[in-house]
Amino acid sequence: MGRVARGRRWTCRGGTRLSDILDGQPADPARLAEIYDLEHDAIGEDLVFYREMSRRAPGATVDLGCGSGRLFASMLAGGASRIVGVDGSAALLDRARQRIERDPALTRARDAGLIELVHADVRSVRRPDRFGLAVLAGVLPHLDGPEDAVRALGAARRLLARDGMLVIDTIGPGGLPREDLPLSVDWEREDGVRRIVRRSQIERREAPEGLRVRYVTMTDLVGRDGTIARLPAEFRLWYPSPRALVGLAASADLIVEAAYGSHDLDPPGDGSERCILMLRPDPGI
């Protein structure tokens, strides 16, 4: 799942089962979650952006589809008074617990009752409390299409305080694959005890509701003794156009306050690597 090299940046943020992207895979979810961390922890270019979002939308933050909690430290550094991380994957939430344990600032916040992890589906999550900031980073492509996206956006809107803000962050038109990519090596790493080799293959299909992508990964863990543990996985992803995403947000009674094409707040365009929308609840509803 992560960013795959091959000369350009590609982020896979998708899943075969809607609420737990790792549970239905042929490989052990805990090992896939470990590889997920290895890949996603290498992504740092959005961390300043999320720190600034937490400053801009103060109060409690809900990180919808938080994965292993990659964004928690930035949110805390930006002044989030409390963080609720919601995810459908039990294995990724376990990794989030381990991350909290490793990071003194996160451990302190957890011990003070300021970090909560919730195993739930972003399409239906409900809580009694309200949030200044809700984040859906890399999550919408995991959903099955527009209907599920409107459900998730509606659930996020219901979690917002009256003046709260929802950030949707997904791959922009310039970051999407333009053609099928054959099975090939994305990256290789040594971690002291083993060599990790990641291969992947991409099949794309233009559909009326957006780009559908089948992303097949194969990760080999090669031990010192030459034994190989192979972790296969497959993800079905969906990428609506930015314009379609704005329409889906309107269907969920959300108003676009700003749109960006990168985490550096560049204006959006056809070549943008990211599609980022900042949304507020429609006050007329």
Contact set with ligand SAM (CB under 6 A): 1, 13, 15, 18-19, 21, 40, 65-67, 70-71, 87-89, 92, 121-123, 137-139, 142
Amino acid at residue number 267: P
Closest approach of ligand SAM to the CB of residue 246, in Å = 21
The residue (of 156 and 246) whose beta carbon lies closer to ligand SAM is 156
Residue 107 Cα distances to 68, 73, 113, 180, angstroms = 14, 10, 10, 43
What is the Cα–Cα distance from 224 to 42, expressed in whole angstroms? 24
The residue (of 66 and 160) whose beta carbon lies closer to ligand SAM is 66
**Residue 211, Cα to own-chain centre: how many angstroms?**
17
The residue (of 18 and 255) whose beta carbon lies closer to ligand SAM is 18
Give buried/exposed letters for 38-75 (b at 16+ CB in 10 A, else e).
bbbeeeeebbebbbebbeebebbbbbbbbbbbbbbbbb
Closest approach of ligand SAM to the CB of residue 53, in Å = 12
What is the Cα–Cα distance from 180 to 170, expressed in whole angstroms? 20
The residue (of 18 and 258) whose beta carbon lies closer to ligand SAM is 18
Closest approach of ligand SAM to the CB of residue 176, in Å = 15
Closest approach of ligand SAM to the CB of residue 114, in Å = 19
